[in-house]
Amino acid sequence: MSPSTRILLALVAGLVIGIMLAGFAPQTVDPAVSIARPLGQAWLNGLQMTIVPLVFALLVTGVAATAEAAQAGRLAARAVGPYLLVRACSATAAPFLTPLFLDIAPLPAESAAALRAALAGTETMPAAPAIGDFLAGIVPANVLKASADSNFLSMIVFALIFAFAIMRIDEDLRVLLTRFFSAVRDAMLVVIGWVLWIGPVGVFALAFVVGAKAGGGAFHALIHYILIVSAVGLVVSLVAYPLAVIGGRLRLGHYVRAGLPTQAVAISTQSSLASLPAMLAGARAMGVPVATAGVTLPLAVAILRATGPAMNFAVAIYVAKWFGVPLNAATLAAGALVAMLTSLGSVSLPGTVSFVGAISPVCATIGAPVAPLGLLVAVETMPDIVRTLGNVMWDLATTVTLARGQRVSEDEADTIVEQI
């Protein structure tokens, strides 16, 4: 049984047992909660303790990979700019789409209130200050203090400056530092793997408290969350289709048929990296030369991740709305920037692995609490499927667009589709 399945089952079990205990033995709820709440909080703390070193290491290695890709050749250099532009547009879409969907289908006030009361550690982070103070505070006077205060925007600025400085030093030293932060990144992912291994215990404890305090409304709230965040990812994903048709001058049906095998792999693995062989076959089916797809697709898997900024930011906005955190233009702009940057170096693995690490900085930037993420990670499977599907279709769409003028004829490509 996969870790995500075990965590999901623990979530359902915790909610059901908490609801039943509140219904049949209400006098035992408070003693049981007094035990379960610290247990769940300890597990959440285990996830949070990896965030600062993980985000810093991901940014350094992500910038290094992007810089190396830009220097690897003309085609790679041409691809980096559009990939970063897509990521910026993705992050910018979330502040418009998420409130829109929440206006169309709002979370019932009673469910939101019950969940707020049930979750511990929901103190909001400091919201973005006035624009003048905000701009002055972007550059940290003390990066360690900024990290300790969860001022992730300042920490990210320092990490970017540090990463670009690494690109200017002697090659041997640059390689040494890049390998060091790659090791830090991999070590933090191992720690996260250990924490997720005991995740069913922590999630059960968190869900038990929510079920006992919020009742059946917890199920409705989690389903509502899945639908809203998945809807944001779906809209971003669908933009890949007109890009392939207009930018790549490809027939819609041809693009859809060539992408189906890749989508099947993406659904089963929830990993863009694991979908790469299928994407290479799909690009070949669309007439993209192997020499071109062999450069652009691995680069897209490493850098593009088109749905990541939008869906990560959508989660943070959803939590902020859930807990009544006011959001203004400056806060949303800062959140979009952090959402774009923190997903730059994220790993192409199932979203459960990087969920808290990728979204906590965004929550902290806009003043939303991070405690709900320990509960939401348990239902990440469905949004992560949408996330991966969108990523692979964007990878294919950008590849066929970059290869425009180099493709073989569509009749020849149709023959390749039939063969795969």
Query: Per-residue pLDDT tens for 81-91?
Result: 888 899 999 99
Lowest mean pLDDT among 37-46, 242-251, 355-364, 409-418: 409-418
Can you say whether the dihedral through the CA atoms of 170, 175, 176, 182 is positive or negative?
A: positive
Euclidean distance between CA atoms 240 and 221, whole angstroms: 30
Q: What element of type H or E holds 385?
A: helix 381-402
* DSSP codes joined into one string, 101-153: HHHHSPPPHHHHHHHHHH-SS-PPPPPP--HHHHHHHSS-S-HHHHHHTT-HH
Report residue 136: phi and psi, to 5°. -70, -30
Tokens of 93: 């879409």
Give the three-state DSSP class for 216. Answer: coil
- pLDDT tens digits, 98-110: 999 999 999 877 7
Helices 252-269, 276-285: axis angle to 10 degrees equals: 170
pTM: 0.83
Asked if pLDDT for residue 414 goes beyond 70, the answer is no
* Residue 276, number of CB atoms within 10 A of its CB: 19
Nearest to 297, CA basis, from 274, 279, 282, 285: 279
- pLDDT tens digits, 353-388: 678 888 988 998 888 888 888 888 888 888 989 999
* DSSP codes joined into one string, 314-378: HHHHHHHHHTT----HHHHHHHHHHHHHHTTT--SS-HHHHHHHHHHHHHHHHT--STTHHHHGG
Report residue 328: phi and psi, to 5°. -115, 180
- pLDDT tens digits, 205-234: 988 988 888 777 788 888 899 999 999 999
Lowest mean pLDDT among 24-28, 135-139, 357-361: 135-139
Q: Give the CA-trace dihedral at 197, 201, 205, 207, to 10 degrees.
A: 60
CA angle, 132 as apex, 127 and 137 as ends, to 5°? 65
Helix, strand, coil proportions of the chain in percent (round to 5)? Answer: 80, 0, 20
Report residue 150: phi and psi, to 5°. 60, 30
- pLDDT value for 353: 67
394 and 306 Cβ atoms separated by less than 8 Å: yes
Mean pLDDT, rounded, of the chain: 83
